[in-house]
């Protein structure tokens, strides 16, 4: 059985001043004892995951190394790339020989990744339709678009290569129509509008995206929105908080696009702990504002998806009903208006 092993490198004068990732890329390309070597991107991933440390501490790929520094590299045996099928519940909205459309539940990750090797939508799909294995990739078979883990709603998955290529092209050409509903903090005004701001990786927090404080790389992003309802919450505070129920149509598909566009406009999603309000668990009061603040996930649901059939070209629209948690929150808010 393969076991993990750790190698230590000590820096000499010749390497002093180099970037850590560049030094290691050169090292692995020269030393046969490490096998086929590692690419610079693989090295950067290992650094980010803490498998490569500098002087015993987690570091950055851009760190400059000095004489007598030491680098520890932990080599973990490769994981079996075959994804296990799992008998998990699926709410199927539509299925034919080319595609399957599901209503993804909040809390389910779309495909396996570090820390989420089981319990994903792909694990469930491989049990339901095993022929999708390998369609479009090993780790993401059949997946042509994604939803965040805590976003619920409609997703379409390809079941063969013809469908995969057709759907990928439709998403790339932006002929797919997507419609979401959401609850956001604040009195969103006017009644409708468009947010058109590029989105990129946050320049100081690599786990977040931003339309205001991104690094040099960003991509255009456009979100159309309309207010369906507004709710003024009962609160003991002098300023009574407002929540807006929105319908959103993203014309692009950037990571966290809707969440980022709303948060950077001053109206983060209810329940969004990454881009929105921090929950003050000490303030537990049986009022409407507490019920909304305590919502356990970001209040975003992919309600509608319209694509062209991969063979006939006929438009097909799929609608995912609201999940019970979001429907219940809306019922509470509407009762508070009476």
Q: So which residues are the catalytic ones?
A: 148
Say how many C-beta atoms besides its own lie within 10 A of residue 332's C-beta.
13
Say how many C-beta atoms besides its own lie within 10 A of residue 105's C-beta.
16
Nearest Cα to 20, choosing from 31, 30, 9?
9
- State the DSSP code for 136: T
What does each C-alpha distance from 256 to 87, 221, 223, 295, 325 come to in angstroms? 29, 11, 12, 19, 21
Sheet hosting strand 214-219, strand order edge to edge = 209-210, 199-202, 214-219
Strand 209-210 relative to strand 92-95, pairing? unpaired
User: 3-class SS at 146?
Assistant: coil
Compute the distance between CA of residue 230 and CA of residue 228 in angstroms, rounded to an integer.
7
Compute the distance between CA of residue 243 and CA of residue 224 in angstroms, rounded to an integer.
18
Compute the distance between CA of residue 271 and CA of residue 290 in angstroms, rounded to an integer.
11
């Amino acid at each position: 059985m393969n076991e993990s092993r750790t190698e230590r490198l000590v820096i000499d004068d010749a390497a002093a001043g180099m970037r850590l990732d560049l030094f290691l890329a050169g090292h692995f390309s020269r030393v046969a004892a490490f096998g086929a070597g590692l690419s610079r991107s693989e090295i950067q991933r290992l650094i980010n995951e803490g498998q490569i440390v500098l002087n015993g501490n987690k570091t950055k790929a851009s760190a400059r190394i000095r004489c007598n520094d030491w680098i520890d590299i932990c080599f973990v045996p490769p994981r079996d790339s075959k994804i296990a099928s799992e008998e998990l519940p699926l709410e199927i909205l539509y299925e034919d020989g080319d595609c399957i459309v599901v209503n993804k539940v909040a809390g389910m990750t779309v495909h396996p990744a570090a820390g989420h090797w089981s319990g994903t939508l792909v694990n469930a799909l491989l049990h339901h339709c095993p022929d999708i294995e390998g369609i479009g990739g090993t780790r993401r078979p059949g997946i042509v678009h994604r939803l965040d883990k805590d976003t619920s709603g409609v997703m379409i998955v390809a079941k063969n290569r013809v469908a995969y290529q057709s759907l990928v092209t439709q998403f790339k050409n932006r002929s797919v129509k997507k419609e979401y509903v959401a609850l956001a903090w604040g009195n969103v005004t006017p009644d409708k509008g468009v947010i058109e701001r590029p989105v990129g990786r946050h320049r100081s927090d690599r786990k977040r995206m931003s339309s205001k404080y991104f690094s040099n790389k960003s991509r255009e992003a456009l979100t159309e929105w309309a207010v369906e309802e507004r709710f003024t919450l009962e609160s003991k505070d002098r300023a009574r908080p407002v929540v807006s129920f929105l319908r959103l149509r993203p014309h692009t598909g950037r990571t966290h696009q809707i969440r980022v566009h709303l948060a950077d406009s001053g109206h983060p999603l209810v329940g969004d702990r990454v881009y929105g309000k921090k929950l003050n668990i000490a303030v537990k009061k049986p009022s409407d504002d507490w019920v909304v603040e305590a919502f356990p996930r970001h209040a975003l649901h992919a309600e509608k998806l319209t694509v062209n059939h991969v063979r006939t070209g006929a438009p097909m629209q799929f609608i995912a009903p609201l999940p019970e948690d979001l429907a219940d929150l809306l019922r509470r808010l509407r009762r508070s208006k009476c």
